[in-house]
Structure 1
């Protein structure tokens, strides 16, 4: 993030920051810088990044996007669990903003996903496909024309973001939305106070920036994004986890399937809110502390370096190990007990020397090797949820955090 003071912790202490669910932003360093499951347990099978020339292409609108057919590398059609079956352990890694700003983090984690058969969700900020020279096209609700708390990308970085967004979709990952200008805080312009109509405007603009980048940039030599974004878009995460209540009616009207914006979730099986699956960041163990931390890199940073992103190099090794240990402890608690899905949020940032990127990579590598684990996107997880027997899901929801099924899974779910 370019200006950390814009996302200050508002004086909250470490435990309060964790409880309040403060979250970071899209790729803020993006400022003015000029998959299918295999037949066993895992998530996304990697594929080449280049477009498949054999796939039919139907350009949409101005040619910024294209219908290239069904998304490659998707899981086999999900089926209901059998009576007494042990639930899969779902783990969803997601990325807010999802802009490539020259630090190589977008391709780094695409490669990691390929190596471990993982599906991920990339919440693309629509503003990252809009040149700063055209910023007056953006009319953020309750803010000045062209305003943005995260800045605009250089032309070079817009092209890089599109390149890796294409690759992500072709390799089976989900492209969600992180909206546009990322307005947080307590002022009247914050997304915290946006109405349902404000959210509709913000969504319409985010979609237009993704589907009309060719018109807005004038670039004719760039390949289209290989998907129909209006049909692909199934869910979101709001800036700083604010404003979900008024977003949900608009999201439901648009036919979205989930929202990942709620803060302070617990490691239990999900419910629906307003007709959408509510898939929140979760409180997970935080080694060395009596309180828990939200399952996102920024929240660990907030509790470790108190809103600073550099300068305390002597702490980096410990903080890196603490963050990785937190992710893995959260996974282990669910895996060994109630098998609640785990959601992990990230940003393509090099805060505190990049330790959070290293920590999430370490955690993913340790998690991926466990039997029964499925590393999937939010949309793929919703596909699975939607075909399950509601009585089975209701039974799973009776298990509290860290609570194992009485008599084992065979006995516990056979009754359902």
Structure 2
């Protein structure tokens, strides 16, 4: 299986307090350890009855994905839905079975999510040198590689996740952070190499693993892959340049408050958001790792007597963040996580309890980043511009009916307007 540990790295983050600003990034080894009612049975042949294999048969075209939100343009004066995105860095399945568990959670509560796959989770250790990471020797990795059982299990969950209506993005490959060849030092061309290799490991997992009898992944990864989160939230500037050139539609590697998203270089900026830490005087990123750092430091197994309290603190912080958006500006809530049992699984319980609380509400849409991007692209730019003028937790004066009925012209410099030379028109 994957290496049991990996370097914990704190990335550079601009925040009002030091403790609130740790980078939202996994600090331990690879993945640890079925989204909508009525989803079809697993297997590529379950979609539309037709499968067209791609390349060596690791992936396949199987038709239009099911169980997706149909984006509709808001009517004049209509209140926007409350979107919540749950996303997972380095998604993979191992003995803790957290990937399969949260697929079941998604089905139970009507939630679809985004799973950011690390490409090396589909590459066996015996083929490690096929990975040529920027600024590192071939076969290097800060998260190790997988074994055949882990690859088989991860492919099974990726297949089922997509059939459930979830999205498969990328967390890239070797997860290098820091100043010693970390992603924050990579050039645009080095990012393009990393992205190309991430795609290759998905497109060729059968050849690389020898597991040729297994069913393919039921999607064309060149078309499926439209967004990412960088390791430790580092290297975002050059990644955006590379991603814009390659036609990506969004990035979720930044940090923001709970406001409506804008575009950068033609990509939707779905940054992780600052949310309350109940009982503390600061906010932190809406991610399990960041709550952990503020509770037990870099120790992934702190005082067992505090595990329940810490999990409740994260759950309550996420729900407070949800409540202020839901009753205020209705900005999408962006939440990031890892399949890790840090502090006795406190954060996994917190996330599951949050899903169970918010995703069942009538006007709430728990969706993937792809579906959120589709909805935003369907809206009137003037409507999005007005939504962006609302601050954190700020409800429109006079209610939504008046606020989104009378639309003024988009003022000069409004963030809804693409800046010249920054990918205008590329969605």
User: One fold, TM greater than 0.5?
Assistant: yes
Q: Is 1:26–1:125's contact at 8 Å kept on the other side of the alignment?
A: no
Q: 2:57 aligns with which of 44, 57, 63?
A: 63
Q: 1:193 aligns with which of 185, 190, 195?
A: 185
Q: Is 1:46–1:113's contact at 8 Å kept on the other side of the alignment?
A: no
Q: Is 1:46–1:172's contact at 8 Å kept on the other side of the alignment?
A: no
How well do the aligned residues superpose, as a CA RMSD in angstroms?
2.1
Structure 2 distance, partners of 1:151, 1:4, is 8
Change (3 A) 1:134 1:8: same
Q: SS in structure 1 opposite 2:228? A: coil
The reply on whether 1:392 has 2:392 as its aligned counterpart is: no
Structure 2 distance, partners of 1:413, 1:50, is 42
The reply on whether 1:340 has 2:331 as its aligned counterpart is: yes
Q: Is 1:248–1:274's contact at 8 Å kept on the other side of the alignment?
A: yes
Residue in 1 that maps onto 2:66: 72
Q: Deviation of residue 98 (structure 1)?
A: 0.4
Q: SS in structure 2 opposite 1:7? A: coil
Q: SS in structure 2 opposite 1:93? A: strand
Change (3 A) 1:258 1:14: closer
The reply on whether 1:87 has 2:80 as its aligned counterpart is: yes
Q: SS in structure 2 opposite 1:111? A: helix
| CA deviation vs aligned residue, 1:237-286 (integer Å, no higher than 9, x gap) | 10011111101121112111100111x31100000001100000000111
Q: Deviation of residue 145 (structure 1)?
A: 1.1
Q: Deviation of residue 353 (structure 1)?
A: 0.5
Q: SS in structure 1 opposite 2:89? A: strand
Q: Deviation of residue 61 (structure 1)?
A: 0.4
Q: 1:218 aligns with which of 196, 210, 213?
A: 210
Residue in 1 that maps onto 2:219: 227
Taking the TM superposition and a 5 Å limit, the aligned residue runs for 1:11-30 are: 15-19=17-21, 21-25=22-26, 28-30=29-31
Structure 1 distance, partners of 2:27, 2:37, is 26
TM-score under structure 1 length normalisation: 0.93
Q: Is 2:10–2:23's contact at 8 Å kept on the other side of the alignment?
A: no
Residue in 2 that maps onto 1:40: none
Change (3 A) 1:298 1:218: same
| CA deviation vs aligned residue, 1:291-337 (integer Å, no higher than 9, x gap) | 00100000000100001011410111110110110111111110010
Structure 2 distance, partners of 1:9, 1:386, is 31
Q: Deviation of residue 2 (structure 1)?
A: 3.6
Q: Deviation of residue 25 (structure 1)?
A: 2.5
Moved more, 148-157 or 231-240: 148-157
Structure 1 distance, partners of 2:153, 2:397, is 51
Q: Deviation of residue 8 (structure 1)?
A: 5.3
Taking the TM superposition and a 5 Å limit, the aligned residue runs for 1:64-143 are: 64-76=58-70, 78-143=71-136
Residue in 1 that maps onto 2:425: none
The reply on whether 1:145 has 2:138 as its aligned counterpart is: yes
Structure 2 distance, partners of 1:193, 1:275, is 23
The reply on whether 1:240 has 2:232 as its aligned counterpart is: yes
Q: Deviation of residue 73 (structure 1)?
A: 1.5
The reply on whether 1:181 has 2:179 as its aligned counterpart is: no
Alignment length (residue pairs): 402
Q: Is 2:84–2:334's contact at 8 Å kept on the other side of the alignment?
A: yes
Q: 1:330 aligns with which of 299, 311, 321?
A: 321
Structure 2 distance, partners of 1:146, 1:15, is 38
Q: Deviation of residue 75 (structure 1)?
A: 2.0
The reply on whether 1:3 has 2:2 as its aligned counterpart is: no
Q: Is 2:8–2:28's contact at 8 Å kept on the other side of the alignment?
A: no
Q: Is 1:26–1:96's contact at 8 Å kept on the other side of the alignment?
A: no
Q: SS in structure 1 opposite 2:222? A: helix
Change (3 A) 1:172 1:9: closer
Structure 1 distance, partners of 2:28, 2:364, is 29
Change (3 A) 1:17 1:138: farther
Structure 2 distance, partners of 1:113, 1:90, is 15
Q: SS in structure 2 opposite 1:107? A: helix
Q: Is 1:27–1:347's contact at 8 Å kept on the other side of the alignment?
A: no
| CA deviation vs aligned residue, 1:63-86 (integer Å, no higher than 9, x gap) | 11111111122222x221011100
Structure 2: runs of 5+ lacking an equivalent: 408-427
| CA deviation vs aligned residue, 1:175-203 (integer Å, no higher than 9, x gap) | 0000000001222x110111110100000
